[in-house]
Structure 1
Amino acid sequence: MGEASRVTGRFRGTFDVLHSLTYFAPETEEALTGAGLRPGRMTYFAGRAAPMGAVGPGVVAATFYNFNPELVARHIPRAWTLATPEKIIEARFEAVDAALTRLLGKETLGSEAVAEAAELAREATGGCQPDGRPLYAGHAGLDWPSEPHLVLWHAITLLREHRGDGHIAALVANGVDGLAALVSHTATGKGFLPEAAKASRGWSDEQWDAAAAKLREQGVLDDQGGLTEAGNDLRERLEVATNAASAGPWEHLGEEKTKRLHELCGPLSRQAVEAGAFPANVFSTGR
């Protein structure tokens, strides 16, 4: 297995932490509500979707994929009447700056390691392709920030959305809708706990149970809600397809530089987690 394949499979633990901490940082809600948005889910939907412009709820639900469209429609397009996408994007970068400063400290952010990681991550994005990747394409159209730690965050954001769009393509190709993707993912024991998934994605117990029943009928879940052999095979196909669709940046960066970026970002991610970047109940204890 080449370095590109290994890194795509380890993306979440090494790189994605440095992006996804944004969604849990109090600085994010403070900055986005300061820009005019209402607190809560609106800041997440509008903050992540703003690079695509003032799109409607259908576009947000389609690109975010596993959120209940009814939940999305409660906040989009109202968000755009409260703050423009441009203002939201500016506030989001301000929030990232504040959150990373709190979690990693100014000394770390000003280090040669962060500057080197930023340069390498930005170089990796040169291997991203926008075709069929709307969330990535929206973010790729933004101007690059100047500070190294913000360059690193933006580059990882691009890599994350590029990977995410590829994952959705794999789900669609395998006939897995958003809720089925979420239910089967929680069954792996490597993601959200079911209650956290339902609460954060806006699905009712009835909707969740109906999706689980359908997956049992399809032979993906067993009677206890765990993955069957066929279910494990499905999740493995999805992972392989996602990794394959995400390998371009790492192939572009090359094996030596990819390994170096992994070495640089691993300690930063661990430091952020140890500093309390995420609430304890977000991920399952088996991860």
Structure 2
Amino acid sequence: MDHEEAGQLAYRCHRVLEPLHAMIYFAPEAEDRLTAAGLRPGRMCYFASRSAPMGAVGPGTVTATFFNFNPVLVAEHIPEAWKLAAPERVLEARLAAADAALRRLLGADTVASEEVAEAADLARQAAELCVPEGRPLYAAHADLDWPDEPHLVLWHAASLLREFRGDGHIAALVGAGLNGLTALVTHTATGKGFLESVAKRLRGWSDDQWAATVDYLRGEGLLDADGNLTEQGNQLRERMEADTNAAAAAPFATLGAQKAERLRELGRSLSRQIIAEGAFPQEGIFASSR
């Protein structure tokens, strides 16, 4: 398997494992347990729970590693979150929420199944083949102890692989001269991510900020008069995806095609199950933030 093939395999595995990680941001169990730990409901739970592996970091670190949120929005919740609940307590609540949510979405029989145990073992192997250099969110999550139960091992491994890929994606965007908002606008323009209205709402950008960025990207030749990607813009986004796949390829190349394809098969079945059980809102806002 050459590097390009490994990158494509990494992408295919990402597509089926991402829901197993991302369900934590929409499960009611997460907000229930995080607010019980002391956090305020809503965005604070997201910002604090995802950044907690890094410790009680400030808003600049969260903005930098999450990449495409308005810094003003982040600063409304961080570092206030750490005054309400220490990172260690947030992490305990998050793991408890993942446990409860997966038990509800998968059901007791599937949670205890050989398929989940096999998927957990393969996903852990892949996650442990990742390296931390230049991957701050992955590295912080990788410093956490592994859970004991297979369904939580699978969730933690899926989280590690997602953050590893995300860190590599941010590096690709920065290398191309994009910042958080220009990356978000161009991604939205592909038609494969958020709707514009959803992107603004979730990431905290105003209509004026969005419009100014669209004007800037038109001047750069990346968007046309209608706000669609130009040929140059499409080439840029395609290059970013190729670079992201390449940066995520190494653990899957080492894992090997047979094991990676088996992980993809298992992950696809489990993700389909949780999606069918209503793990995500109908508007599809769990889509990648790229």
Amino acid at match of 1:230: Q
1:21/1:267 CA distance change after superposition, 3 Å: same
What is the alpha-carbon distance in structure 2 between the residues aligned to residue 257 and residue 45 of structure 1? 33
The correspondence for 2:219, drawn from 213, 217, 228, is 217
**TM-score, scaled to structure 2:** 0.96
What is the alpha-carbon distance in structure 1 between the residues aligned to residue 14 and residue 227 of structure 2? 25
Aligned to 2:69: 67
Query: CA offsets, 1:234-280, max 9 Å, x none?
Result: 00110011111101110121111001101111011111111111111
The correspondence for 1:248, drawn from 234, 239, 250, is 250
What is the alpha-carbon distance in structure 1 between the residues aligned to residue 128 and residue 254 of structure 2? 7
Aligned to 1:232: 234
Aligned to 1:114: 116
Q: Percent identity?
A: 62
What is the alpha-carbon distance in structure 1 between the residues aligned to residue 182 and residue 280 of structure 2? 25
Aligned to 2:139: 137
Residue correspondence of structure 1 range 17-36 to structure 2 within 5 A = 17-36=19-38
Q: Residue 251 of structure 1: SS of its match in structure 2?
A: helix
**TM-score, scaled to structure 1:** 0.97
What is the alpha-carbon distance in structure 2 between the residues aligned to residue 283 and residue 38 of structure 1? 21
Amino acid at match of 1:192: F
> How many equivalent pairs are there?
285
Aligned Cα RMSD in Å? Answer: 1.4
Query: CA offsets, 1:168-210, max 9 Å, x none?
Result: 0000000010001111111111111111111010000111111
What is the alpha-carbon distance in structure 2 between the residues aligned to residue 92 and residue 265 of structure 1? 21
What is the alpha-carbon distance in structure 2 between the residues aligned to residue 284 and residue 129 of structure 1? 26
Aligned to 1:102: 104
1:202/1:101 CA distance change after superposition, 3 Å: same
1:134/1:76 CA distance change after superposition, 3 Å: same
User: 1:4, CA displacement in angstroms?
Assistant: 2.2
What is the alpha-carbon distance in structure 2 between the residues aligned to residue 242 and residue 199 of structure 1? 26
Say whether the 8 Å CA contact 1:126–1:252 is kept in structure 2: no
What is the alpha-carbon distance in structure 2 between the residues aligned to residue 211 and residue 238 of structure 1? 19
The correspondence for 1:202, drawn from 201, 204, 219, is 204
The correspondence for 1:189, drawn from 179, 187, 191, is 191
Aligned to 1:163: 165
Structure 1: 5+ residue runs without aligned partners?
none
Aligned to 2:39: 37
User: 1:12, CA displacement in angstroms?
Assistant: 4.3
Amino acid at match of 2:23: L
What is the alpha-carbon distance in structure 2 between the residues aligned to residue 178 and residue 8 of structure 1? 24
Say whether the 8 Å CA contact 1:28–1:92 is kept in structure 2: yes
What is the alpha-carbon distance in structure 2 between the residues aligned to residue 138 and residue 12 of structure 1? 20
Aligned to 1:180: 182
User: 1:284, CA displacement in angstroms?
Assistant: 10
User: 1:10, CA displacement in angstroms?
Assistant: 2.4
Amino acid at match of 2:182: A
Q: Residue 10 of structure 1: SS of its match in structure 2?
A: helix
The correspondence for 1:9, drawn from 8, 11, 31, is 11
Say whether the 8 Å CA contact 2:17–2:271 is kept in structure 1: yes
